[in-house]
Structure 1
Amino acid sequence: MGLADKAQEILQGFDPKKDSPNNSNNNLPDGEYDMVLNSVSHKVSDRTGTEWVSLECEVIAGELAGRKEFVGMFFGTGSEFVTNKAIKSMAQAASVFEVELSNDDWEDEHSLVEGLQPAIGSQFLLKIVSSPNKKDPSNPYRNFDFIGYEDEENNDDPFATAGGQTIEISDEDIPF
């Protein structure tokens, strides 16, 4: 990758008139994105020893296509709230990816990564919502919802309603 390619990648979404080059936060803005799951990995911080499961997600449609979002799920932080939220998020993600996690998969972070390997390549919607961080206002909390695409059976019928019912059209309804 040459310098021009790297500059194009790094400057995507960067506004030199508004954004600081000292801010390494390259997160996607709040919103809902069509994504694909590129990888699932077990991470450990060299500095703190904190462990988490990282989901590498990539935007596949729209003006931010190609941008990545790394969703980290922390299970052993000592905070019951954070652990409970991570468990629910992982269960939601697995459901959307149509992967059934067994009790053995929930043994630890490494087991969860192994259990989610079949999900790589899954497409889904990711909703991102930021909320204030009172301790560090410059670093808001990021909340993620994994959303599955609508039932594909209904998408095959152009006359199906959201409830799956077929619309009947008579000759009198056709304008020509």
Structure 2
Amino acid sequence: ASKKEISAYLNKKQDYPTTVTLLRAGKEIKLTIQPRMEKGPAIYETGISFQVVREGLWETLRQPLIYMFSTIRSVIFTFGWLLTGKVSLTQLAGPVRIVSIMSEAVSYSPTLYLVVINLLNISALISIAIGATNLLPFPALDGGRLLILGIEALRGKPLSPEREATISMVGFVILMSLGVFVVFNDIIQLIWG
């Protein structure tokens, strides 16, 4: 599990004890940890820390791919959760909240090196998330265009340009409305928490 996934899991558990399994010197060890709220951002901490581990070339190339696929998976799950109501639209972060998150990352990073690393990490996360979102099968996105091409291939004939333009326009209006809502919600979250 990634640090982000562990934090999300602990935030769900909040003040309840959690059993974790560690792999230490080839042996599995079960520990019970008690998350506690820390000052600063509203997250639960356990005393678990992450450190840099020197690995070979293969592992060094593999880890960024795991991170990228984990981010893409998160985008897909979030889209599904939005459609099923498991996640509220108010939980989406737009540009205003992203800048706030980047500001927090800078203020909680003790060294310039960690500031740069955290900002690069957030920038990579945003780029991957935007790319994955663009491939979702929604009109006005590239994924929507791919879906239309797939439908045309199955039908054996293209959609009329008017129909395709209408579908894209409806998708565009929905996306822009969502964008306005997210920015408005970000501002409300910053002002009233």
TM-score scaled by length of structure 2? 0.23
Q: Which has the higher contact order (CA 8 A, sep 6+)?
A: 1
Structure ranking higher in strand proportion: 1
